[in-house]
A and B are shown apart, each in its own frame.
Chain A
Amino acid sequence: MDSLSTTTAAAPRRSLAPSRGHLLALGLVVLALVAPFLLYPVFLMKALCFALFACAFNLLIGYVGLLSFGHAAFMGGAAYVTAHAAKVWGFPPEAAILLGTAAAAVLGTVFGWLAIRRQGIYFAMVTLALAQMLYFYALQAPFTHGEDGIQAVPRGRLFGLVDLGEPSNLAMYYFVLAMFLIGFFIIYRTIHSPFGQVLKAIRENEPRAISLGYKTEQYKLVAFILSATLAGLAGATKALVFQLASLTDVDWTMSGEVVLMTLVGGLGTVLGPVAGAFIVVTMENYLAQFGSWVTIIQGVIFVLCVLTFRRGVVGEIAHLLQRRAGRKES
């Protein structure tokens, strides 16, 4: 039996050399700091938003073993609320994002409360159906402006000081990076906390976790809410980056896309979703002019990943390193 999560990359790396993980993290942060001078900032902001979205999604699938097929609801719901707050109510960006994220948390509480009653495939179908319900709501509700979406959302001044709308996009980029790092840190700490250990226990063997006295329902619900909230943070930030909240954000294809990113990068790995998001966003950028071919290629990648490449990019690398380390020891 091949379990859904394929790696435990974090643990052996720490036992080998405690500093290696920190060095990697430091290197990546430095890279992220200089990146806007090397690459197009809007592309990087898009990738970072999706990376946070995928990390939030991975918290559920990778560490609790719950496949949510409706995460677009949280991303899109937060995007709509943030866009509406910033544009119609004139909220400053930090308040708009906070409100959007809170909306996603509320939505996550309701959806999670309903969905955790079922497991496995049913869980996926329930989340998909609930998200579709939100999609139809967004299609009809007046404040979302239907097919047009909420356009020309002002980015505003952060804390009244920093103008996020300045044309070089640098301020906005560092703001997005900060949002991503906050979200990523929360997820990292969650995974490596006692709470995270219980989540993994539920993933591996839920009846056993119950027999040990854990109220698994509550753990699953809290994980679901956390995942939804951070997906909301990603969506809220994305709404300010593109100054737009539209139906594509709540569409079921968006839910499929985040599954793809996580799968490509590596389910249940810390950095996998980030790598997956950058790969998928890059691919979409290059293929944007070919219309439906983007979807077709995404489908092909889905099939290939499931059939041959279940560990994903990061999972595969971690597996190789682990095998190498094992050989050295013996």
Chain B
Amino acid sequence: MVESAPVIGADHALTPTLSRKRKRGDERMIPLLHIPPQALFGQLLLGLINGAFYAMLSLGLAVIFGLLNIINFAHGAQYMLGAFCAWFLLNLAGVGYWPSLVIAPIAVALFGIVLERAFLRWIYRLDHLYGLLLTFGLAIIIEGLFRQQYGSSGQPYSIPPELTGVWNLGFMFLPIYRGWVIAASAVVCFGTWFLIERTRLGAYLRAATENPVLVQAFGINVPRMVTLTYGFGVGLAALAGVLAAPIYQVSPLMGSNIIIVVFAVVVIGGMGSILGSIVSGFALGLVEGLTKVFYPEASSTVIFVVMAIVLLLKPAGLFGRAA
């Protein structure tokens, strides 16, 4: 890790498991209700960053589900591919962070398009559950291959020099890279929302979601749109992976660790609305961060508990249409 000791929050940059083990040790030092503001803001920042990844991933899932009616179980694996792609580019070709931010998502999106053409397109007419099973199979193949090659441990990916260091905000220290991740993902989320809800292309997409046959009758190539949409969703996951690479280590398991949480986020938000998945992603990240401050033991399960409560009170999800 490049950033180190004095920065609150930086030492939680390891995997969630490790940081939880640390927290348990620290517990005695943080008396309840006397939480130092530094720790509070540090955890909130960390939560916001997790939320940024939840938002980007659940956004991609929602876009794909809207048009393909498939829950892309391989989304976590594709997020991991994005991170590994950046790592390969750096270590094999010497390509730095900024070009990787563009190249890796495009490369992984092309891979996604190949997957769609080779496998997914055969099962659109079947029960939706087959899509889940197929992409689950693809996910464990991809993850298995990387685990065979790189084991379960992570590969470090350093923060680009332009984004190292911290800003002193007065009430807390903000590592610049973390600020960048939050800003970048907010821009990406807004861009996707704008593209889908406010442009002509997005209008076609929404129309095809409602009634593909009719849209095709108007002369729009719906199968190509389906392919490109899948590629776009996969690219979004890969972009999240590249952004995550310097924060979490690049590891074959990083995808499966996060995807189940993202599924819970999707259940909470409902996949009916783009804005809904963005908002619930960020919000649940914050909830998780807050839980880490007040009751660290529950931080890994709090999102699932929220999901259970939402299921009880509003079974269709907070922003969902009845499913």
Q: Please report A residues at the B interface, Cβ cutoff 8 Å.
A: 1-4, 67, 69, 114-115, 117-122, 124-126, 128-130, 132-133, 136-137, 139-140, 252-253, 256, 259, 263, 291-296, 298-303, 305-307, 310
Do B132 and A302 touch across chains, with their CB atoms under 8 A apart?
A: no
Do A125 and B263 touch across chains, with their CB atoms under 8 A apart?
A: yes
Most A C-beta atoms less than 10 A away, residue of B125, B134, B256: B134
Do A129 and B140 touch across chains, with their CB atoms under 8 A apart?
A: no
Residue in contact with A4 in the complex, picked from B119, B127, B140, B261, CB distance below 8 Å:
B127
Give the residues from 122 to 145 in chain B that come closer than 8 angstroms, CB to CB, to chain A.
Answer: 122-123, 125-130, 132-134, 136-145
Give the residues from 66 to 116 in chain B that come closer than 8 angstroms, CB to CB, to chain A.
Answer: 71
Do A114 and B308 touch across chains, with their CB atoms under 8 A apart?
A: yes
Can you list 13 A-B contacts (CB < 8 A)?
A124-B132, A125-B71, A129-B263, A129-B303, A132-B260, A132-B264, A133-B301, A136-B304, A292-B145, A298-B140, A299-B139, A303-B134, A310-B126
For the complex formed, measure the closest distance between the CB of A140 and the CB atoms of chain B, giving whole angstroms: 6
Do B133 and A306 touch across chains, with their CB atoms under 8 A apart?
A: yes
**Known contacts A295-B140, A307-B123; can you find 9 more A-B pairs with CB under 8 A?**
A2-B126, A114-B308, A121-B71, A130-B307, A133-B304, A137-B301, A292-B145, A298-B137, A310-B126
Per-position contact with A for B17-57: 1 when CB-CB < 8 Å, else 0?
10000000000000000000000000000000000000000
Do B133 and A259 touch across chains, with their CB atoms under 8 A apart?
A: yes
Residue in contact with A119 in the complex, picked from B122, B260, B323, CB distance below 8 Å:
B323
CA distance A294 to B144 in the complex (A): 8
* A292-B147 CB under 8 A given contacts A125-B266, A128-B263: yes
Do A130 and B323 touch across chains, with their CB atoms under 8 A apart?
A: no
B305 CB–A CB distance under 8 Å: yes
Per-position contact with A for B298-323: 1 when CB-CB < 8 Å, else 0?
00110111011001100100000001
Instruction: Determine the chain B residues whose CB is within 8 A of the CB of A252 once the complex forms.
Output: 256, 260
CA distance A125 to B139 in the complex (A): 15
Instruction: Determine the chain A residues whose CB is within 8 A of the CB of B301 once the complex forms.
Output: 133, 136-137
CA distance A229 to B119 in the complex (A): 36
* A310-B264 CB under 8 A given contacts A129-B304, A295-B140: no
The count of A-to-B residue pairs whose CB atoms sit within 8 angstroms is 136
Most A C-beta atoms less than 10 A away, residue of B143, B304, B305: B304
Give the residues from 241 to 295 in chain B that come closer than 8 angstroms, CB to CB, to chain A.
Answer: 256, 260-261, 263-264, 266-267
> Which applies to chain A's interface (DSSP): helix, strand, loop or mixed?
helix
Instruction: Determine the chain B residues whose CB is within 8 A of the CB of A4 once the complex forms.
Output: 127, 129-130
Do B130 and A126 touch across chains, with their CB atoms under 8 A apart?
A: no
* A299-B141 CB under 8 A given contacts A124-B132, A126-B307: yes
Do A136 and B311 touch across chains, with their CB atoms under 8 A apart?
A: no
For the complex formed, measure the closest distance between the CB of A4 and the CB atoms of chain B, giving whole angstroms: 4
- Tell me the nearest residue of chain A to B270, going by C-beta: A122
Most A C-beta atoms less than 10 A away, residue of B65, B126, B137, B267: B137
Instruction: Determine the chain A residues whose CB is within 8 A of the CB of B143 once the complex forms.
Output: 295
Residue in contact with B141 in the complex, picked from A140, A263, A296, A305, CB distance below 8 Å:
A296
Do A125 and B140 touch across chains, with their CB atoms under 8 A apart?
A: no
Residue in contact with B297 in the complex, picked from A126, A140, A303, CB distance below 8 Å:
A140
CA distance A84 to B241 in the complex (A): 40
Residue in contact with B137 in the complex, picked from A119, A122, A306, CB distance below 8 Å:
A306
CA distance A122 to B71 in the complex (A): 9
Do A302 and B315 touch across chains, with their CB atoms under 8 A apart?
A: no
- Tell me the nearest residue of chain A to B133, going by C-beta: A306
Do B267 and A126 touch across chains, with their CB atoms under 8 A apart?
A: yes
For the complex formed, measure the closest distance between the CB of B35 and the CB atoms of chain A, giving whole angstroms: 21
Most B C-beta atoms less than 10 A away, residue of A4, A122, A124: A122
* A118-B323 CB under 8 A given contacts A125-B263, A126-B311: yes
Do A125 and B147 touch across chains, with their CB atoms under 8 A apart?
A: no
Instruction: Determine the chain A residues whose CB is within 8 A of the CB of B128 once the complex forms.
Output: 120-121
- Tell me the nearest residue of chain A to B320, going by C-beta: A122
Instruction: Determine the chain B residues whose CB is within 8 A of the CB of A117 once the complex forms.
Output: 311-312, 315
B148 CB–A CB distance under 8 Å: yes
For the complex formed, measure the closest distance between the CB of B236 and the CB atoms of chain A, giving whole angstroms: 19
Do A67 and B129 touch across chains, with their CB atoms under 8 A apart?
A: yes
For the complex formed, measure the closest distance between the CB of A273 and the CB atoms of chain B, giving whole angstroms: 15
Instruction: Determine the chain A residues whose CB is within 8 A of the CB of B65 once the complex forms.
Output: 121
Give the residues from 174 to 214 in chain B that come closer than 8 angstroms, CB to CB, to chain A.
Answer: none
- Tell me the nearest residue of chain B to A296, going by C-beta: B144
Do A129 and B267 touch across chains, with their CB atoms under 8 A apart?
A: yes
Residue in contact with B134 in the complex, picked from A122, A130, A294, A307, CB distance below 8 Å:
A307
Do A125 and B267 touch across chains, with their CB atoms under 8 A apart?
A: yes
Instruction: Determine the chain A residues whose CB is within 8 A of the CB of B119 once the complex forms.
Output: 303, 307
For the complex formed, measure the closest distance between the CB of A259 and the CB atoms of chain B, giving whole angstroms: 7
Do A302 and B308 touch across chains, with their CB atoms under 8 A apart?
A: no
CA distance A319 to B282 in the complex (A): 50
